[in-house]
Structure 1
Amino acid sequence: MRRVKRILFRVLLIFAIVTVAGGLWMREEIMRLWAVNTLFDEDYIVANFSNMDAAFLTVPVPRGSGAASTLPTGTPAELPAEVAGWIEERAVTSLLVIQDGEIRHESYHLGTDPSDRRISWSVAKSFLSALLGTLVDDGTIPELGAPVTDYVPSLAGTAYDGATILDVLQMSSGVTFDEDYLDYNSDINRMGREIALGGTLDGFTQALNETFAPPGEAWQYVSIDTHVIGMVIRGATGRDVPSLLSERIIAPLGMDSTPYYLTDGEGVAFVLGGLNMTTRDYARLGLMYLQNGQFNGQQIVSEDWVAASTVASARTAPGAIGYGYQWWIPVGAEPGQFMARGIYGQYIYVDQVNGVVIATTGADRRFRDAGVNEENVRMFRLIAESL
């Protein structure tokens, strides 16, 4: 009997040790999963969006050794009276308005400040488009009509087999991907949990095997298309996106601080929505596009790429918002009016007609309500036209 008790005690002791050790080993993964599941909770969302590096794997995007580029302050603008109510209603955390290269308005809300590096969400897509443009400009990727499998052979036999670079650039891959952020089991949320638990974005992408239309025939916003652009860039250059983005976009723009990407378990950047930087640094990309690819006297992205990227070339529905190369074109926009847009209220609005760039960050948990995007665009136009 004593021998049985000793054996039982040893089994329980070993089980306890394994359980504790396993718990310690999985602690980071469990914390990241908890962060994903509470990321958008009302009590945490503002702080979370300023501190994504506290909960997720990240990689820096070096800002370079140069001084920050100058953003001079102009005469403070008197914004339309309804802007104040819009800021409160839409949980805006920062609003930066630049006209003719000068800051006309800069304000921070809900406890944020100018040093906060806010999560971009899909605004990151427009940064990746700029990077791709530099590779097209220099001939590294000479043909947008090339199949993505030319640069990413591992996508052969997947849902992306047959899609071209242009197809994924315009969100016209035809790949089935559920983008419903409110559905726990949607593809976009499963992908988030994959990142939290140290999984791989490449593996997640390669596992997709369903399509709803042939490549190039229908437009549907599918965020994973942007990850494929990142895979193409890595395949074409043999380099990682953060170092390339640093070299070709971030350093020339003279950022205030060092941006960073969220990454998966292999250190691959979450290029479809994982950039984090200050509001002023978001505005710098807008200024470069306002100036047709120039910044501080340097042509960073060609004028041709800026023009091609920011016209409504994708097959969006008639009368609906337009889409270019990872840039949005609002309904009723004049030539030279376009924007980068991310969930929960992240925008870079560029208005070449009025010489205005507006960068906003937010924590708007009702961003999917009917008419919210249209109201935000109306507010941007109201501000631009009031200056």
Structure 2
Amino acid sequence: MTVPVAPSPAPQPPLSAREQGIMQGFPPAPDKIPGPTNWDMPPYNRWSFQNMRGLFPTTDVRRGDGPVRDLPAAPQEDLGEITFKTMAGETSTIDDWLAHSYTDGFLVMSRGKVVSEQYFNDMEGHTPHLSQSVAKSLVGTLAGVLNGEGALDLHAPLLDLIPELGNSGYAGATVGQVLDMRTGTRFTEEYNMPGSDMTRIDIASGWRPPVPGEAVPTIREVIQTLQAERPHGEAFNYRSIETDVAAWALERAGGQSLAALMSDRIWQHIGAERDGFFTVDAAGTALADGGFNATMRDYARFGLMMLQGGAVEGRQVVPEAWVRACARGDTAAFGEPYTATSPHGAYSRQWWIHDAKRGDFMARGVFGQLIYLDPQTEFMAVKLSTWPDFLIHSYTVDMLSAVTTIRDALAESEASPKKFTDFLRRR
């Protein structure tokens, strides 16, 4: 007689920082306190990403005194029942995916209304969350404002703004090549790897402890040491340092710090509810490539501005032509390993393009940060996360599958509520 084999129980959702005892107690237990070598790794990142001001020096991106932009709600109660195929070939509901993918916050907007807003891991609406490389897209958007003002020429040599880079690999590069990450400068993007360029920037920014016996450089001192490995203008190659170089150029072009420029040109005009902030190095330089923090609803307000062509309630904040260019890119310059996530993708002006023909584009960051925008259906999804590692390919693929499935379901529901019900049944 064959004994039936019981199915394996589903993995339990990850525990919150509080449930794991991280920073609990007066004082917390020594092994429950994030340190300089482990603050962004599990389990500590479940606390750290919502408490960056308790770990690092910061500079404010002020919201100003203007009114808060209302985000009208039209809750879609059935959203969590939508199913999609994971990279592993399994069927998952949106609710199960959110519960198991180390979610801190998830917000969906359709046609200008919030249809879902959920918080996990004890995050709340007022809690600022680290954006990681979503910050790059904010910097790229700021470049568009300065370009529209005539202060930033994409075709100008970078050395016109930053002559200090004359002996570096950035000599001969243009501002536009930096924004599109198509310079020929060598930068090793290995995270938490001793001696890598990324680790050198982490040390310079204060995100990693210094090497014993070595002086701690600033972010811009590290930039000046980088050398070329190929001609400028060739294929896209993702390097976080390009955003820090772009930010340096923006400060020179705009005559203000990055935080002040971001406040004056963008944050004060999107109807943000709270100030944002950047972490800074010892020289007060903002970590442009990943150090920005804001609430989920304010990330949504920024995304909504981009989704609506750079305008906020009729006032143009970012030139519409710049926003359109962020959703168009050179697919021929976009190869492996990037096509593994977006087979028809591209990269333009610090934004990832998921499908160049469709024109959906996104801001993405390690550990699962996302602002996904689809102008075609006026859809946006924001996800804030604390994945257990910097990059998990299956998590990225599943995240994009989930949000695009939600997008398609909502598009069907607009035509008819019955179509939405049929969509759920088909899945």
**TM-score tier (shorter):** 0.7 to 0.9
Matches within 5 A, 1:133-144: 133-141=144-152, 143-144=153-154
1:32-75 Cα offsets, whole Å, 9 max, x none, are xx744112232211110011111111100111011211111113
> Which of 165, 181, 198 is equivalent to 1:171?
181
Q: Does the CA contact (< 8 Å) of 2:328 and 2:356 recur in 1?
A: no
Q: Is 1:372 the equivalent of 2:395? A: yes
Structure 1 residue 327 corresponds to structure 2 residue 351:
yes
Query: Which whole-Å deviations, capped at 9, do the CAs of 1:294-345 have from their partners, x for residues lacking one?
Result: 1122100111000112212372128543111111111x45433110000000
Q: What residue in structure 1 maps to residue 276 of structure 2?
A: 259
| Aligned twin of 1:101 | 112
Whole-angstrom distance in 2 between the partners of 1:282 and 1:130: 13
The residue that corresponds to 2:219 in the other structure is 201
Q: Which runs of 4+ in 1 moved over 6 A?
A: none
- Superposed CA deviations along residues 217-252 of structure 1, whole A, max 9, x for unmatched, are 132101101111111111112211111110110000
> Take 1:36 and 1:248, find their aligned partners in 2: how far apart are those partners?
33
- Alpha-carbon offset, residue 292 of structure 1: 0.7
- 1:349 equivalent among 372, 377, 386: 372
- State the secondary structure of the residue aligned to 1:103: strand
Q: Aligned-pair distance for 1:77?
A: 4.0
Report the equivalent of 2:233: 216
Mapped contact 1:60–1:242 kept (Cα < 8 A) = yes
Tell me, what secondary structure is at the counterpart of 2:387? coil
Q: Which position in structure 2 is the counterpart of 1:60?
A: 60
| 2:130 counterpart residue number | 119
Indicate the residue corresponding to 1:268 in structure 2: 285
- Matched residues in 1 for 2:95 and 2:236: separation? 36
| 3-state SS of paired residue (1:37) | coil
Q: Note the alpha carbon deviations across 1:320-378, whole angstroms, 9 max, x for none.
A: 43111111111x45433110000000000001121111111000124523333222111
TM-score (norm 2): 0.79
* 2:305/2:312 contact within 8 Å kept: yes
C-alpha separation between the residues in 2 aligned to 1:370 and 1:311? 24
Could you tell me which residue of structure 2 aligns to residue 132 of structure 1?
143
Q: For 1:61-118, what per-residue CA distance to the aligned partner results, in whole angstroms no more than 9, with x for missing partners?
A: 1110112111111133421151122113321111000111111000011221111100
State the TM-score, normalized to the length of structure 1. 0.87
C-alpha contact (below 8 Å) 2:326/2:351 kept by paired residues: yes
- Aligned letter for 1:151? L
Cα deviation, 1:109-135, whole Å, max 9, x if unaligned, reads: 122111110001110111111111011
- Asked whether the 8 Å contact 1:226–1:271 carries over to 2, the reply is yes
Q: Is the 8 A contact 2:184 2:230 kept in 1?
A: yes
Aligned residues: 351
Q: Please name the residue that 2:306 is paired with.
A: 289
What residue is the counterpart of 1:11 in the other structure? none
1:123–1:342 Cα contact (<8 Å) kept? yes
**Match for residue 22 of structure 2?**
none
Given that residues 362 and 371 in structure 2 are in contact (C-alpha distance below 8 angstroms), is that contact kept between their aligned partners in structure 1? Answer: yes
| d(CA) in 1 for partners of 2:317, 2:305 | 8
Secondary structure at the counterpart of residue 38 of structure 1: coil
1:302 has 2:326 as partner? no
Gaps of 5+ in 2: 1-33, 84-92, 211-215, 411-427
**Is 1:156 matched with 2:179?**
no
Partner of 2:263: 246
Deviations 1:200-229 (A, max 9, x none): 1111111212x2211111321011011111
What amino acid does structure 1 have at the position aligned with 2:307?
A: L
Q: Which runs of 5+ in 1 are unaligned?
A: 1-33
| Structure 1 SS opposite 2:78 | coil
- Using the TM superposition, give the Cα deviation of residue 268 of structure 1 relative to its aligned residue in structure 2, in angstroms: 1.0
Give the aligned residue type for 1:120. S
C-alpha contact (below 8 Å) 1:36/1:192 kept by paired residues: no
Matched, 1:87 2:104: no
Contact 1:36-1:193 within 8 A present in 2 as well: no
Q: Is the 8 A contact 1:199 1:264 kept in 2?
A: no
Give the alignment's Cα RMSD to 1 decimal: 1.7
C-alpha distance in structure 2 between counterparts of 1:75 and 1:370, whole Å? 31
Alpha-carbon distance in 2 for matches of 1:187, 1:38: 19
Separation in 1, partners of 2:194, 2:308: 41
How much has 1:187 moved relative to structure 2?
1.4
Amino acid at match of 2:122: G
CA distance in 2, matches of 1:386, 1:184: 45
